[in-house]
Amino acid sequence: MTLTALTMAVLAIGTASAAPATSGLSSTFSACRDNAQGAIEQAACLSAETTLQDQRLNRVYTQLHARLSGDSRTKLVNAQRAWLQSRSRDSELDTALYDNSQVGNLQSGLDDVMRLSARADQLQKYLQLLD
């Protein structure tokens, strides 16, 4: 398998082709990834999706934080801090396990964007419980 084919296979792992922007990875990411030619363009797709998912996570967290009070709000803050630490440790593990190649860096980036998306989805579910 060539480096380009392997890179494309890495980015195809675990992504839906038409995920809505409010849950999971965006359809924009899927389209970007499908049209990317080479590792640099794939990295740009990952970077844009990371920004989008980080913004989504921050938006949902802020909404949930505003809806909670007292002990529930404190538990949310503590849980988010623990998640941030876990995300950091997972990134450290990615760095240790994946080589420092383009493919390894792309896989690490995909893993991180998946973590962001999953956390945003989880907080969105909590917010929906309050509706």
Give the pLDDT score at 48: 97
pLDDT in tens, 84-111: 999 999 999 999 999 888 999 999 999 9
Please, which pLDDT band fits residue 22 given cuts at 50, 70 and 90?
Answer: low
Q: How many CB atoms lie within 10 A of CB 33?
A: 20
CATH fold of 3-129:
Substrate Binding Domain Of Dnak; Chain:A; Domain 2 (1.20.1270)
Query: Quick check: 8 pLDDT over 80?
Result: no
Note the Cα 128 to chain centre separation in Å.
20
Question: Considering the entire predicted model, what is its pTM?
Answer: 0.81
SS3 sequence of the chain:
CCHHHHHHHHHHCCCCCCCCCCCCCCHHHHHHHHHCCCHHHHHHHHHHHHHHHHHHHHHHHHHHHHHCCHHHHHHHHHHHHHHHHHHHHHHHHHHHHCCCCHHHHHHHHHHHHHHHHHHHHHHHHHHHHCC
Tokens, residue 74? 């404190």
Predicted confidence (pLDDT) at residue 3 exceeds the cutoff of 70: no
Give the start-to-end residue ranges of the domains of the chain. Answer: 3-129
Average pLDDT of the segment spanning 25-40: 94
pLDDT for residue 106: 95
